[in-house]
Amino acid sequence: MNRDFQQRFATFCIAIERYNEDYSWGQQPGPITEAALDEAATDLLLNLGARRFGNTTIAAGTIQEQLHYAINLLMNPDVEALFQARGLWDTLRKILETETPDLARLIDRGQTGLWLLDWLASVIPQISEKIHHRPLLPARSPAFVWAATWLKASGVDIYSVAGQGELK
C-alpha cells in the first residue's frame, strides 16, 4: 500500500498553488517557487515510480475490469427500473441511500487528480533537466484550477498549512 501518496500529492498541489501566486502578483515564478514545484513533482514521481514493479500493473488491470463491470451493472436499464433511477449516479444514490458519500466531491477529486498526473507525465523531460529554460507551468495553466479543486475536494485548506514544511 502506498501510504505516502496522499501527502505527497497534496504537497505537489500546494506547490502548484504557490507557483500560481507569483503569477497573480504579475511576476514570473521565482527560483525558490520553481525549485519547490520541481522538488514536489520529483518526490511524487519517485513515489509512484517505485510502484511500477511487482503486482501494481496486474492489480490496476483487475480494478479497471471490476470497475467496468460495476458501471455496466449500475447502468443496466433493468437495474435502473428496479430502483426507479435515471443514470449511474442516481442508481448509486438510491442503492446507498443515507450512506451515499459526497459523489460530486469524489468525482472532482478523482478527475482533477488524473488530469494533474497526466500533466505531470507530460513535463517529466523538463523536470529532469538541470536548468529549466521556461517555467514548468505557464500563466493561466489549467493545472492551477485542478490543484485548487483537488485540494478543496480533499479538505485541505492551503492557508492552514502555510508555513508548514509538510502536511501532517
Residue numbers of the domain that contains 18: 5-53+102-153
Tell me what pLDDT residue 58 has. Answer: 76
Residue range 112-168, pLDDT digits in tens:
999 999 999 999 998 888 777 788 999 999 999 999 999 999 998 876 655 554 444
* pLDDT reading at 52 higher than 70: no
The reply to whether 114 falls in a domain is yes
Residue range 7-22, pLDDT digits in tens:
999 999 999 999 999 8
Nearby residues of 111 by Cβ (< 8 Å), 6 or more positions away: none
The reply to whether 96 falls in a domain is no
Inter-CA distances, 133 with 2, 96, 125, 136, Å = 33, 51, 12, 9
The reply to whether 80 falls in a domain is no
d(CA 137, CA 144) in angstroms, rounded, equals 9
- Could you tell me the pTM of the whole model? 0.79
Percent of the chain with pLDDT over 70: 88
* pLDDT reading at 61 higher than 70: yes
Q: What is the mean pLDDT of residues 28-40?
A: 92
Confidence of residue 2 (pLDDT cuts 50, 70, 90): confident
Total structural domains within the chain: 1
Angle at 31 between CA 168 and CA 123, to 5 degrees: 75
d(CA 11, CA 162) in angstroms, rounded, equals 11
d(CA 89, CA 75) in angstroms, rounded, equals 9
The reply to whether 78 falls in a domain is no
How would you label 9-26 residue by residue, b for 16+ Cβ within 10 Å and e otherwise?
Answer: bbbbbbbbbbbbebbeee
The reply to whether 28 falls in a domain is yes
Residue range 63-113, pLDDT digits in tens:
899 999 999 999 999 999 999 999 999 999 999 999 999 999 999 999 999
